[in-house]
Amino acid sequence: MQIRHVDAGSCNGCEVEIGSAFGPVYDAERYGARLVASPRHADALLVTGPVTRNMLEPLRRTYDAVPGPKVVVAVGDCARNCGVFAGAYGVAGAVRDVIPVDVEVAGCPPRPEAITEALRKLTGR
């Protein structure tokens, strides 16, 4: 499973946890999940943060750029329902308002175990 991470407007808390999930302690890569540098190489998108107005169009385009079949994972409370940023002037909505979401990971930020668990559901290992 090749994963492209998209920061749609996150506070970077979720990024720290994703980094930890792929770090030496949790090492999500041993379950077959790999972070890649381009949506053209990806099977899945890992989206963090509420979708800000600036990232609305880039997120849609990134989704379009991923070859099918594809999966979207929304990581963190902001990605699920805008979290503490709900109703803010720069926020366009949650990730599911913009692109179809397949897996959601709760938490502010979610623990690395939760992220790894969600990824293991995708990879099936």
Partner 1 sequence: MNPIGAALGGAAAVGLLAAVVAVVVPQRVRAWAAGVGTAVCGAAGLTAGIYALSGTTFFLTLPALLPLSGVTITVDALGGVFLAVTGAVAVAAGVYGIGYARHGGDGRVVQAVFPLFVVAMLLVVCAASVGTFLVCWELMALFSLLLVVAEHKRRPEVAEAGRWYAVMTHLGMVAILAGLLVLAAHAAGDSFPALRDAGRHLPPAVAAVVFVVTLAGFGSKAGILPLHAWLPRAHPEAPSPVSALMSAAMVNLGVYGIVRVGFDLLGGGPRWWWVVVLALGAVSAVYGILQAAMSTDLKRLLGYSTTENMGLVLVGVGAAGMFASGGNRVLAGLALAAALLHVVNHSAFKTVLFLSAGSVLHGTGSRDLDALGGLRTSMPATTAAFGLGALAASALPPGTAFVSEWLLLQALIHGLPASGTITAIAMPLAVAAVALTAGLAVATFVKAFGVGFLARPRSDAAENAQESPASMLIGMGIAGAACVGLALLPGLVLPAIGSVAGRVVDSSSPMLADAVTVQLVGVAGSLSPLMLTIALVVAIMLVIGVVRAVAARRARRAARLWDCGAGPMSARMEYTATSFAEPLQRVFDNVLQPETDVDVTHTRESSYLVEAVQYRRQVPDRIERRLYRPVLALVAVWGSIGRRLASGSVHRYLGYGFYTVCGLLILLVVTR
Residue 10 or 62 with smaller CB distance to partner 1: 62
Tell me the window of 21-29, 57-65, 78-86, 88-96 that interacts with partner 1 (CB under 8 A).
57-65
Site residues for partner 1, window 19-48 (CB under 8 A)? Answer: 38-40
Residue 53 interacting with partner 1 (CB under 8 A) = no
Among 57, 86, 97, 108, binds partner 1 (CB under 8 A): 57
DSSP secondary structure string for all residues of the chain:
-EEEEEESS--SHHHHHHHHHTSTTT-GGGGT-EE-S-GGG-SEEEEES-EEHHHHHHHHHHHHHSPSS-EEEEESHHHHH-GGGTT-TTEEE-GGGTS--SEEE-SSSPPHHHHHHHHHHHHT-
Residue 65 interacting with partner 1 (CB under 8 A) = yes
Interface ranges with partner 1 (CB under 8 A): 38-40, 57-59, 61-62, 64-65, 68
